[in-house]
Amino acid sequence: MAYLPPSNADPIPTDLIVSLGKALGLSIPAEDLEALSAALRDQLASGGSIELLHPEDTSPLAPFDPRWHD
């Protein structure tokens, strides 16, 4: 089960995945290309949703003090 909702965008072209793999020195099995294409598309879409967040709409981080208190 994926932790990202699937995107409605077109999958990333598999030839681009192969080229990226070659640039990184990776050998990607042909049977993994379709799944990687959809996963990369969904990762990029999730980054787009993060960009839509407005800092003023969020709460500040809760302070964390690792020391013990009596």
d(CA 17, CA 1): 22
More confident residue, 62 or 31: 31
Q: Does 64 fall in a domain?
A: no
Domain membership of residue 57 (yes or no) is: no
Least confident segment among 2-16, 17-31, 50-64? 50-64
Count of domains in the chain?
1
Q: Please count the helices (runs of H) and the strands (runs of E) in the chain.
A: 2, 0
Structural domain boundaries, residue 18: 12-45
Distance, CA of 17 to CA of 5 (rounded, Å):
21
Q: Is residue 4 part of a domain?
A: no
Contact 41/7 with Cβ under 8 angstroms? yes
Query: Is this model's pTM higher than 0.85 or not?
Result: no
Are 37 and 14 within 8 A, CB to CB? yes
